[in-house]
A and B are shown apart, each in its own frame.
Chain A
């Protein structure tokens, strides 16, 4: 196989997106659906086929020269290396399953062509990020996923809330993108290249101050995309989109793009201890913030959204602690079980008759297909980090990396991680109990579940539960497959004595059990939700929206109002309108002279004649002298 065929991986989804965009509504529905699935499935198959190319130094494929000006030479190039390959496999694999699920989920939607073309376009943009060889291609994908995310969050744009949520997501992530753009240009100014591998190679020659600044800018860019503090407000509202979108974009793939970016530029970022500390701190704060918020949420998808933020926070902590392998490991397992949870949540909402509120569910274990409960439970135990699940191993690896970090400050972050794990277990089982236990409390009529919504859950459930096998730690007899695969890209090797490792595992088990126990005590028998200041505070996400509104939106609006009414309307428009009034006043004065009556004109004529005559006379008197 030719290496330039690598381009087929991102171009297949793009091709199908374009076909659906142009002809989707004119072709039979089945065709559009098959196109959409084939676009991503073929990308998945190609990734498997090309797997060998990723080994060693990876394979670089150039499609064409994009920009060429003086010393700038940017190609549209892909780099299929050891870091990109697992991510590509995950993105295409999960996307394939979610596309199949989406065919079932959207089977009553009329606007299917727009949906599937946006979804395919998203996969293309995401693959562009993952496979990008240079920062410009990465930025293209980065903006592309933002655009598709915007279009899909506001997919049901006829409801104003949805459109607003889409706009909000777009604008907030754009803030991060600005920082990423600055970082990109700064890197270019310093290194003279946009190629990621060359930037990483030159990283050690860049002065430490610049490395710190660029790393912080990259962190802010990643924060925007990955919904980390302080740019996290959009993710919870993004749940207005269709559930497959939440599963694909806002759980499995796009929100992890920030983590992937930091991993990509890890050789650069890791040079600055301060930046690493900042990454860890942001991750830790987001993790605990989102976990507390998730405890009080009432809508099933918002619970999952906050848990996504929290889990991505773990990934940031892993990057900050220096273990790329740990971050990527958690990224992969999280993608599996979180996509699973979202898709199951979609089924649950179907069964509850489009009801989102978990306090109006309950008893769904007996209402729906029996396997649904077990599948959801599989995702939940992964999220809660129960022993032997994928989520357990990946989270434990991160906590171990934090605990064993040479800098003692990281012990604080480790503690935050542990507390977050406890909260995670609690809100996960709260969700399980409220949804499945007890009697049905809602009034909705269950919709039927298409087969396509049910069977894509199985592979994800298996992947989530067995995800630990990808990178099984050595002390339980595993081979640390992922770590060895990344090899020199894996970051700091986490070494600890077996005692410490077993101690941490014991702690993790205890914490997960404690969280389960607490949720069991509180929610096994249904109680109406308590309403007090604390729950309201958590329900509204610590009033982050209000804070943003106070700090940025209102001053900005005030400034805009000043510019618009103060400057523009009063000063400029006022001046102009005074001028215009003067002109129009003169005009109307002249208009009065234009009576349209012959006599007026004739008398004016006569006056003119008279003046001429008088002038001639004066000249005559002056000149003649008599």
Chain B
């Protein structure tokens, strides 16, 4: 593997920005969640690349942890999606403004 470390980071950065764009631009809650997943994967890529760069095991460990936590997050988030759908029959984020001050 003779690719520079910076290139791996650049891929991760672009991936992160794509995820962020998705979160900010999409209006459906499901798509916002997908954006979050993309951003988490970008973080995962940084961990693994760093692990290889410094020849350490910890980066990979953390990317595995990240996956477990993501699984938990997705479980709750999707349950919420179902709950919101049952309450309002819509998943457009801006339709929910019950917390308006």
**A–B interface present (Cβ within 8 A):** yes
Residues of B with C-beta under 8 A to A606: 20, 24
B20 nearest CB neighbor, chain A only: A606
Contact B23 A596 (CB under 8 A): no
CA distance in complex: A592, B100 (Å): 8
Q: Which of A574-603 contact B (CB under 8 A)?
A: 590-599, 602-603
Residues of A with C-beta under 8 A to B45: none
Number of A-B contacts (CB under 8 A): 37
B97 proximal to A (CB < 8 A) = yes
Interface centre among A591, A592, A595 (most CB of B within 10 A): A595
Residues of A with C-beta under 8 A to B4: none
Contact A602 B99 (CB under 8 A): no
What is the 8 Å Cβ interface bit string for chain B, positions 65-101, against chain A (1 contact, 0 not)?
Answer: 0000000000000000000000000000110111111
CA distance in complex: A598, B99 (Å): 10
B38 proximal to A (CB < 8 A) = no
> CB within 8 A of B93: which of A592, A593, A594, A598?
A598
Contact A596 B101 (CB under 8 A): yes
CA distance in complex: A602, B33 (Å): 12
Taking the closest CB of chain A, its distance from the CB of B40, in whole angstroms, is: 15
CB contact under 8 A between A594 and B96, given known A599-B27, A602-B23, A606-B20: no
Residues of B with C-beta under 8 A to A595: 97, 100-101
Contact B96 A603 (CB under 8 A): no
B32 proximal to A (CB < 8 A) = yes
Residues of A with C-beta under 8 A to B100: 594-597
CA distance in complex: A609, B16 (Å): 12
CA distance in complex: A597, B99 (Å): 8
In the complex, which range does the number of interface residues on chain B fall in? Answer: 10 to 19
> CB within 8 A of A597: which of B23, B24, B32, B97?
B97
Taking the closest CB of chain B, its distance from the CB of A604, in whole angstroms, is: 11
Residues of B with C-beta under 8 A to A593: 101
Q: Which of A549-597 contact B (CB under 8 A)?
A: 590-597
Contact B101 A597 (CB under 8 A): no
Contact B93 A596 (CB under 8 A): no
CA distance in complex: A597, B101 (Å): 10
B98 nearest CB neighbor, chain A only: A596
Contact B101 A599 (CB under 8 A): no
B94 nearest CB neighbor, chain A only: A597
Contact A597 B98 (CB under 8 A): no
Q: Which of B1-44 contact A (CB under 8 A)?
A: 20, 23-24, 27, 29, 32
> CB within 8 A of B99: which of A590, A592, A596, A603?
A596
Residues of A with C-beta under 8 A to B94: 597-599
Residues of A with C-beta under 8 A to B23: 602
Contact A594 B27 (CB under 8 A): no
CA distance in complex: A606, B32 (Å): 14
Taking the closest CB of chain A, its distance from the CB of B94, in whole angstroms, is: 5
B99 nearest CB neighbor, chain A only: A596
Residues of A with C-beta under 8 A to B20: 606, 609
Contact A597 B27 (CB under 8 A): no
A591 nearest CB neighbor, chain B only: B101
CA distance in complex: A152, B27 (Å): 79
> CB within 8 A of A603: which of B24, B98, B101?
B24
Taking the closest CB of chain A, its distance from the CB of B91, in whole angstroms, is: 11
Residues of B with C-beta under 8 A to A590: 101
Taking the closest CB of chain B, its distance from the CB of A5, in whole angstroms, is: 77
Residues of B with C-beta under 8 A to A591: 101
Contact A596 B24 (CB under 8 A): no
Taking the closest CB of chain A, its distance from the CB of B10, in whole angstroms, is: 15
CB contact under 8 A between A594 and B24, given known A599-B93, A599-B94: no
Residues of B with C-beta under 8 A to A596: 96-101
CA distance in complex: A597, B24 (Å): 12
Taking the closest CB of chain B, its distance from the CB of A593, in whole angstroms, is: 8
CA distance in complex: A609, B39 (Å): 13
> CB within 8 A of B101: which of A594, A598, A602?
A594
Taking the closest CB of chain B, its distance from the CB of A607, in whole angstroms, is: 10
CA distance in complex: A606, B21 (Å): 10
CA distance in complex: A37, B67 (Å): 95
CA distance in complex: A599, B32 (Å): 10
Q: Which of A195-254 contact B (CB under 8 A)?
A: none
CA distance in complex: A597, B27 (Å): 11
Taking the closest CB of chain B, its distance from the CB of A611, in whole angstroms, is: 14
Residues of A with C-beta under 8 A to B99: 594, 596
Residues of A with C-beta under 8 A to B97: 595-597
Residues of A with C-beta under 8 A to B24: 599, 602-603, 606
Closest 5 pairs (CB-CB, A-B): A594-B101, A596-B100, A596-B97, A596-B99, A591-B101
- B binding-site residues for A, Cβ under 8 Å: 20, 23-24, 27, 29, 32, 93-94, 96-101
Can you name 6 A-B residue pairings with CB atoms under 8 Å? A592-B101, A596-B96, A596-B98, A597-B100, A598-B29, A598-B32
Known: A592-B101, A598-B93. 13 other contacts (CB 8 A): A591-B101, A594-B100, A595-B97, A595-B101, A596-B96, A596-B98, A597-B96, A598-B96, A599-B24, A599-B94, A602-B23, A602-B32, A606-B24
